[in-house]
Chain A
Amino acid sequence: MATRWPASFVVGASVFGAVVVAALLGPHIAPFPYDGIDIMARFLPPDATHWLGTDEFGRDVFSRLLYGGRLSLLMGIGATSVSLVVGVPLGLAAGYYGGKVDETIMRTIDLVISVPPILMGILILSMTPPNPWKTAIAVGIIYVPIMVRLTRGVTLELASEEFVLAARARGERAWYILGAEILPNAWPPIIVESALRVTFAIMLGAALSFLGLGVHPPASDWGLMIAESRPFIDSAPWVALAPGFVLCVTVIAVNLMGDGLREMLDPRLKRGRG
């Protein structure tokens, strides 16, 4: 069976792949250091040397953009991984075992979910000095409830499927049923949701660092770059527009990827008329 990749996935994955490569290679290909202050070269508009101009300290915007991507991607991928690693097993357990296990997990989740996401981030980050890893974990924890609910729902549905009952009837252990029967069929919605989470995490991470809760200067991050350039937005709009534009393109790319995956994996879209 030849898989046909949907166009939206191909486009999204290519753009996102390019962003990832640029961010990983950033330190090696950046023409200037990200914190190289040059008072003489403040607010230079884009030209051949400074492709995207310079900011109020004369730092090269293009170089900072390359460095800033690492944080945003760390935020997106790291936070989503945290929510997956914590959320999926909890959801599987809650859905499969039910009863008290389910009750305990879901009540705890309700508690976490009763705090609006950004407040959760603010609360966690305001406690201790900012650090990108911590921000990623904080954002990841915020998304755990969504992953748990999703996985639990899928697991509940699958646990009553007859092939799972057949596995129980022949005496399979719980770990085999969860790992070999349920999980392989639960992936599609989880993957699609993860793609969506990556975009939300990138945006939330950027928003937190925009509010001064993510990383501290002189570290570079897209959200922080936009925040720093705000006072000079009228005179030097390129300093804010460049990271903003890249941020949007990245998010759109991941969204496209998610839609492509959904198209490929969602059995409801695949199944024809009965």
Chain B
Amino acid sequence: MSQPVLRLARLCVDYPAGDGWLGALEDVSFEVGAGRALGVVGESGSGKSTTALAVLGLLAPEARIAGGDILFKGASLFALPDAERRALRGNRISIVFQDPFASLNPSIPVGRQIAEPLALHKGLSDGAAGEEVRRLLAEVGIANPQQVALAYPHQLSGGMKQRALIATALACSPDLLVLDEPTTALDVTIEAQILDLLEKLRRDRGLSMLYITHNLGVVARICDDVCVLYAGRVVETGSAESVLRQPRHPYTKGLLASLPRVAERKHRLAPIPGRFPDLSAPPSGCIFHPRCHFAVDRCKTEPQVLDKDVRCWRAEELADAAWQAPAEQVDDAPVRVPAADGTPPLVNVDALTKEFRLGGMFNSSRVQAVDGVTLRVAPGEVLGLVGESGCGKSTLGRMLIGLIEPSAGTIGIDGGSQKENRRNAQIIFQNPDSSLNPRKTVEAIVGRPLVLHGLASGGDLRKRVVELLEMVRLSPAYLARYPHQLSGGEKQRVGIARAIATSPKFIVCDEAVSALDVSVQAYVLNVLADLRDRLNVAYLFISHDLSVIAHIADRIAVMYRGAIVEEGPVDDVLGPPFHPYTEALLSAIPDVERGSGVQRIRLRGDAVESGRHVRGCRFQHRCPRKIGAICESETPPVIEPSPGHRIACHIPLGN
């Protein structure tokens, strides 16, 4: 076997923290073989981005290499003088960062930015570099390289920017391509396009890749090998196939058990309890033991080493043991009482429309963010609303709770007045860092809706707040805490407690779990499911993530450019017949189970924001199954393949 392109040998990296140091990476070892792709997987704080920066030699100046080595083709990178190390960067080793929106210099045309490494490392003249840039842009699938090369970053969509950045990284035909969450900031259909591109590039160029991600599905699609990081330590490595199918470390097991999946829908997920350890004072023994339900006394005292590719002394004996949900989440999970047939719907939305006026400095235009949406939600029902960014799903959700005035159409919630709606309809937001007022205690935050609506006062108030916290599995110890003292999942649960304080009948969950790590997301999803069953509250569950929706929803509505294109019970929507857009969304999900090699449907171009009303079908520009002129001229009819399952499409049933 040939020499690995990259080898990390017991690398340790520290950051200063207060008076001491925080071990961001501890004893990290792995290899990227020639022509192979290694996935480095971890949740936030696992040290995966530090790994990428260390390989590039771009660690922040305050970081300290506390030990170990990085070998590139067998030679230590730390032994190289600065100039030689720089000569490798962008030349032999290159990187694509997570956020394409921030990685391009806003004031330089894209083509000139791609040409920089060519001029620097290969000494190409302006003309030759320009030629090469256009060739690279074409290679990464950009249809009009000439134009894109001359454009400024803000003129390109996110997908195009990421393609341009990949072209930059490929410019000097590197031996190693480091990818740091390259698709995380992109919509799922665009992510699928970029992943296809990376797969093709690997095939065509025999690239070696270090692929850093939190997404196990992406690893399954792209990588040969995988290395799981937890709290700066490698807990398990191996071939992607074996690690994802037969995880050996409890953390990997937990991670996989936390994952909501389209194919296999469970009653409750099995999350990893507890919170991420404080790395400036890590727990003794195994770093994972406080969150591990397999942990025994020995785990609390004996630090673990990476042995036979896994950092757990019980790995062998636990080989067949599955990760269990924390006891309280299974045992007390309330039983759902299905609504009786013929119950009138709780939420009635008819022909709801929102038109925004976009005022530019020079011109203004009207935009139809939501265009004639009609919805029903039954009591205790979860309606999943899925769509990509800019499709109008958040605007729709905010109209339902009165945050945005509709331009036309009606909203009825349990036949109540607007004042009653304030209590009956609530919202849970996406961003745990922004959803709680940083200057208020948990008690004040959760208690305020009770005070406002006169539902509790005096000693009752605290009692009620404690009850609400218990419902989201937070102890009364949290009453006096401020948001900055909480973890992301805890903040989100406080937000949920606040939303249920007025005993609403309907809650809009606006990307309520999207900002959370997988294990925490599973915990919050379970809490939401419990509340639904215990309080019989209905959700409009808005998400871009079809797997999450598939897990929690009873019915799904698929939104595209301001309108619902398909709607129906979960099983009907997730199985054929499909609306072409739903089909594309489904096939775009990088799924742990499917891996690579499944036939995929890909959309052309980028997601188009809701806009002026178009003639014909609003999906015509990107539709892979467009049948002809009729799609451009006539609004598609609504067909109903089975009761309650509606598809707005010209394609006749049976095709």
Contact: B439 with A170, CB < 8 Å? no
- What is the bound-complex CA distance between A273 and B60, given in angstroms? 11
In the complex, what residue of chain A is closest to B18 when comparing beta carbons? A272
Contact: B430 with A162, CB < 8 Å? yes
Contact: B426 with A163, CB < 8 Å? no
Chain A hits for B438, CB < 8 A = 185
Contact: B429 with A162, CB < 8 Å? yes
Identify which of A169, A181, A184, A185 contacts B403 (C-beta below 8 A): A169
Could you give, for residues 161-172 of chain A, a 1 whenever the CB lies within 8 Å of some chain B CB and a 0 otherwise? 111011111111
In the complex, what residue of chain B is closest to A170 when comparing beta carbons? B449
CB distance from B126 to the nearest CB of A (A): 39
Contact: A184 with B439, CB < 8 Å? yes
Contact: A172 with B427, CB < 8 Å? no
CB distance from A238 to the nearest CB of B (A): 48
Q: Does B219 make an interface contact (CB < 8 A)?
A: no
Identify which of B426, B435, B439 contacts A162 (C-beta below 8 A): B435
- What is the bound-complex CA distance between A242 and B578, given in angstroms? 85
Q: Does B422 make an interface contact (CB < 8 A)?
A: yes
- What is the bound-complex CA distance between A37 and B103, given in angstroms? 70
Chain B residues touching A, range: 20 to 34
Contact: A170 with B422, CB < 8 Å? yes
CB distance from A151 to the nearest CB of B (A): 17
Q: Does B401 make an interface contact (CB < 8 A)?
A: yes
Chain A hits for B422, CB < 8 A = 169-171
In the complex, what residue of chain A is closest to B17 when comparing beta carbons? A272
Chain A hits for B435, CB < 8 A = 162-163, 166
Contact: B436 with A169, CB < 8 Å? no
Q: Does B402 make an interface contact (CB < 8 A)?
A: yes
Contact: A165 with B403, CB < 8 Å? yes
Could you give, for residues 15-46 of chain B, a 1 whenever the CB lies within 8 Å of some chain A CB and a 0 otherwise? 10100000000000000000000000000100
Q: Does B213 make an interface contact (CB < 8 A)?
A: no
Chain B hits for A163, CB < 8 A = 434-437
Chain B hits for A165, CB < 8 A = 398, 403, 427, 429
Q: Does B324 make an interface contact (CB < 8 A)?
A: no
In the complex, what residue of chain A is closest to B421 when comparing beta carbons? A171
Question: Of residues 387 to 410 in B, which have CB atoms within 8 Å of A's CB atoms?
Answer: 398, 401-403
Q: Does B184 make an interface contact (CB < 8 A)?
A: no
- Listed residue (A165, A170, A184, A274) with the most chain B CB atoms within 10 angstroms of its CB: A170
Contact: A161 with B452, CB < 8 Å? no
Could you give, for residues 258-295 of chain B, a 1 whenever the CB lies within 8 Å of some chain A CB and a 0 otherwise? 00000000000000000000000000000000000000
Could you give, for residues 431-446 of chain B, a 1 whenever the CB lies within 8 Å of some chain A CB and a 0 otherwise? 1001111110000000
Contact: A162 with B401, CB < 8 Å? no
Identify which of A166, A170, A171, A181 contacts B429 (C-beta below 8 A): A166
Contact: A169 with B427, CB < 8 Å? yes
Chain A hits for B426, CB < 8 A = 169-170
Contact: A171 with B437, CB < 8 Å? no
Chain B hits for A185, CB < 8 A = 437-439
In the complex, what residue of chain B is closest to A184 when comparing beta carbons? B439
Could you give, for residues 478-503 of chain B, a 1 whenever the CB lies within 8 Å of some chain A CB and a 0 otherwise? 00000000000000000100110010
- Listed residue (A165, A166, A185) with the most chain B CB atoms within 10 angstroms of its CB: A166
Contact: B436 with A171, CB < 8 Å? no
CB distance from A161 to the nearest CB of B (A): 5
Q: Does B419 make an interface contact (CB < 8 A)?
A: yes
- What is the bound-complex CA distance between A166 and B426, given in angstroms? 8
In the complex, what residue of chain A is closest to B510 when comparing beta carbons? A162
Q: List 14 A-B contacts (CB under 8 A).
A: A162-B429, A163-B434, A163-B436, A165-B403, A166-B435, A166-B495, A169-B401, A170-B426, A170-B452, A171-B422, A171-B452, A172-B452, A181-B437, A184-B439
**Could you tell me which A residues sit within 8 Å of B by CB distance?**
161-163, 165-172, 181, 184-185, 272-274
Sorted from nearest, which 10 A-B pairs have the closest CB atoms? A171-B422, A162-B429, A162-B435, A184-B439, A163-B437, A162-B434, A161-B434, A170-B449, A169-B401, A169-B427
